[in-house]
Amino acid sequence: MARAGIENAMSRIVLFNKPFGVLSQFTDARSPSPRPTLSAYVALPGVYPAGRLDRDSEGLLVLTDDGALQARIADPRYKLPKTYLVQVEGAPTDADLAPLREGVLLNDGPTRPAQVQLIAPPVLWDRDPPVRFRKSVPDRWIAITIKEGRNRQVRRMTAHIGFPTLRLVRWQIGDWTLDGLGPGAWRDTTPR
């Protein structure tokens, strides 16, 4: 397993494939009706997510027991790349994606330039519930890599260029990937 190069040899590191609809936390004290949390999937004491994924996003979360590592993974100063597979509404061309490569101005300031490309539909698990399908509106997949992580940033970036996100899967953080992990599955990669 490739390592991100920022972890302490004593840190516990768990890779988790967060399903759609699951909160990126272990408890949900704010809601009167319970919502699924990490505790339904990961029963390891002392690990916490390094960064977040929105409830309606899927994919890789790194869990660790090392607070300093959590901060380094989430902090844009460390420029740890995060790659997302994104299904967008519409049929963007490479030229349509060009503004993302330069950085776009969102309501909370300009984004850093992203790496972005059109890709073939990836082989992924079925999402529950499925993404809405409309015969009259095409959709395409893009891969986008950013080195920051503002709230709903990728969704806001694709909407900014006129192609709203339908499905968002974080595939990679640094050298850690979802390879071999189905939704709700986790793998302990702690160095032994």
Among residues 54, 175, 179, 188, the one annotated as catalytic is 54
Look up 54 and say whether it is catalytic: yes
Beta bridge partners, 130, equal none
SS (H, E, C) the chain: CCCCCCCCCCCCEEEEEECCCCCCCCCCCCCCCCCCCHHHCCCCCCCEECCCCCCCCEEEEEEECCHHHHHHHHCHHHCCCEEEEEEEECCCCHHHHHHHHHCCEECCEECCCCEEEEECCCCCCCCCCCCCCCCCCCEEEEEEEECCCCCCHHHHHHHHCCCCEEEEEEEEECCEECCCCCCCCEEECCCC
Q: Which residues are catalytic?
A: 54
